[in-house]
Amino acid sequence: MRKFKVAVVGTTGAVGLEMIKMLERRNFPTESIKFLASERSIGKKLTYNGKEITVELLTKESGKGIDIALFSAGATVSKEFAPSFAADGCFVIDNSSAWRMEKDIPLIVSEVNPHDLKKDKKLIANPNCSTIQMVVVLKPIHDFAKIKRVIVSTYQSVSGAGQKGINELTEQVKAWAKGESIPTANKFQYQIAFNLIPQIDVFTDNGYTKEEMKMTNETKKIMGDTSDTSIEVSATCVRVPVFRSHSENVWIETEKPILPRQAKELLSKAEGIQLMDEPESKKYPMPLFAENMQTTYVGRIRADISTKNNALTFWVVSDNLLKGAALNAVQIAETLVKNELI
């Protein structure tokens, strides 16, 4: 089997570290690997498959000779460096928001739209974490009954805001446990410990946040339905005091009737999904189960009793650092290899 020269950009961040773990855990065919980051991380030592590797400085020349680069260093870095990597013939799989809605750049979830990957499309966008886990579940249902409308409420963990989000919740909980004053919020708008914040990212003119609009626009692009008659999506995104894994309550309306038992059957056979739907035994998805798991869990599937239209509601949970970011990026790389696009 052919092996590939790989680079991970932003290796010392929360997602970058998970990318390294996913490449190892999934035995990606790696000939060599480079760890690239900003000046403050130069010289740090990280381990890959038992070998210690030194973090190097990211430059516009770093992509020369690299086959695949996984970027997780933020939109600003991606805009500055990713085009140079792509110009040198490297496939760039970017985890930031920089390229997701660019018309000619594929926005990929491996179980949903792998057909959008092309040999000549070197720059590839990894979708938003909350979008990924939702569309994985929507896809089998959409293929069967055609989804018309989606209303989703998310319950997003602090790791979605990176290591600083994790640290802030940790510090606040520790202070509370010691009976000390809870430190002032810095990363989040308000105290996150023992609280919910109905704002992720900034508000736009229509009253929705950028995070909520990402879910709307990305879902349409990934599902291949961007016309005026496309899937309609309305999202409310909430930050919750959970360290890892996002949860979502999803309501859908379909053109064709679909019963809960039919949806369960479809989802039980779908790639990347584990059905966890035994309410009588208190079995349903929770962040507690999803952490560090390479699976999107779905449960509590039921018909909407408030309408006679074709409507279902269900609960989706997935590790936002894995399927929501690092795992999906590695799966895109695996699809490039599997489909002989590289």
Sign of CA dihedral 207, 212, 218, 219: negative
Query: What distance in Å separates the CA atoms of residue 59 and residue 41, rounded to the nearest whole number?
Result: 14
Q: Tell me the CA distances in angstroms from 311 to 19, 253, 302, 303, one per residue in order.
A: 37, 4, 9, 6
Q: Tell me the CA distances in angstroms from 230 to 53, 76, 184, 221, 226, one per residue in order.
A: 47, 31, 43, 10, 6
Q: Is 90 a catalytic residue?
A: no
Q: Is 115 a catalytic residue?
A: no
Q: In 126-136, which positions are buried (b, 16+ CB within 10 angstroms) versus exposed (e)? A: bbbbbbbbbbb
If you search the block for the tokens 């005026």, which residue do you land on?
Answer: 228
Are 184 and 274 in contact by the 8 Å Cβ rule? The answer is no
From 90, 142, 237, 246, active-site residue: 246
Q: Tell me the CA distances in angstroms from 223 to 38, 72, 132, 135, 259, one per residue in order.
A: 35, 24, 11, 8, 22
Query: What distance in Å separates the CA atoms of residue 11 and residue 5, rounded to the nearest whole number?
Result: 16
Residues 6+ apart with CB under 8 A from 292: 244, 319, 322
Active site residues: 129, 246
